[in-house]
Amino acid sequence: MIAHTPLGYPVHAVFYGDFSEPPPQSNWSAGSASTSWKSYYGEQEHKQTILLIAGVHGAEPESGAGALNLIRMLETGKDYRGKADPELIELASRYRLIIVPCVNMDGRALSPDHLRNVDHHTFRIASQGAWLDGSQVGWRGSKAWFPLPLERVAYPGGYPNSEGYNIMHDCAPGDIRSAEARALLKLAARWRVDAVINGHSYEFAPSVINPSCIDTPANIERVCALAKKANAALCAAGLRETPGGEPKARNSINLNTLFALASGAAAITLECSVSYDRPKDPRRTYTFDELMEPVFVTLKTVMQDGLETPLADRSKF
């Protein structure tokens, strides 16, 4: 357990691999600026470390379902569907893997089990909530507040935690508000995390979205390369119509920005699809299996690619 939410729910992290090494003698900022990046990373050889986090937005259950099925598979050889993926298990054995299956337990606790094929209004209300007059807080609207003013809402949605904090944007240096964000950043720093897969859901075909421009050039290049490969893999798996455009850094600041600062990690955001119903839209809907499949596809892509090229190339410091 790495944290308690404001409502008292535990936030669990599940570790796979050897995590026996002592704490870093330096933080990443100082260590990366010292004579050797190993001041932070350590001299002791260890496998690359991937942190998979799900449910930062509690209303988005798809990545959490993927994470829980992944844990089940790593524990028993099969996921909850009874499906085995020996290739994934073999790949996972080549890494240290930390899985946080649900970061925002508060938001998850009040959210529907799923939002598959709901209409757009329902999707928005379930996610970002409703003001007292019943109107949508909205996706961008929700970000006008930090925290969301809970006395002004009829329903807060599962996006924020129970204090109204959107954990994905709880990333102001020196002013981290939620125990959840603080614990995740400490987790990444302590275990020298090389890559973060940050699982979310939105209303389009699943994709790894463009990274923040606020990172090192090497990390931006690496994250764009991972995004391109993951999106091609999602397309090959039949989960997208096209691989999508060439990934490029965009103006954004979020928790991934701080993961890069905390441990040097290449951090990507995976958006699964909620598959909501659009009567006049040709976009396809997804089965429950397909809703969580992007987690497996993306993780495998990252793990395969990381065997050829370091996920975070610290030697560039």
* Residues lying near Zn ion in the complex (CB under 5 A): 57, 60, 200
Helices (H) and strands (E) in the chain, counts: 11, 10
Nearer to Zn ion, 92 or 105 (CB): 105
The distance of closest approach from Cβ of residue 109 to Zn ion in the complex, given in angstroms and rounded to an integer, is: 16
Nearer to Zn ion, 59 or 92 (CB): 59
> Rounded distance, CA 211 to CA 256, Å?
8
The distance of closest approach from Cβ of residue 15 to Zn ion in the complex, given in angstroms and rounded to an integer, is: 24
The distance of closest approach from Cβ of residue 200 to Zn ion in the complex, given in angstroms and rounded to an integer, is: 3
Q: Which residue is nearest to Zn ion (CB)?
A: 200
181, 214 Cβ separation under 8 angstroms: no
Nearer to Zn ion, 143 or 190 (CB): 143
Q: First CA to last CA across the chain, in angstroms?
A: 33
Nearer to Zn ion, 192 or 200 (CB): 200
Residue 15: which H helix or E strand, with range? strand 14-16
Query: Within a 13 Å sphere around the CA of 167, how many CA atoms are in the beta-carbon half?
Result: 34
- The three-point CA angle 128-133-134 to 5° equals 45
> Rounded distance, CA 286 to CA 275, Å?
6
The distance of closest approach from Cβ of residue 31 to Zn ion in the complex, given in angstroms and rounded to an integer, is: 31
> Rounded distance, CA 281 to CA 188, Å?
40
The distance of closest approach from Cβ of residue 60 to Zn ion in the complex, given in angstroms and rounded to an integer, is: 5
The distance of closest approach from Cβ of residue 234 to Zn ion in the complex, given in angstroms and rounded to an integer, is: 17
226, 266 Cβ separation under 8 angstroms: yes
Nearer to Zn ion, 52 or 88 (CB): 52
Nearer to Zn ion, 60 or 106 (CB): 60
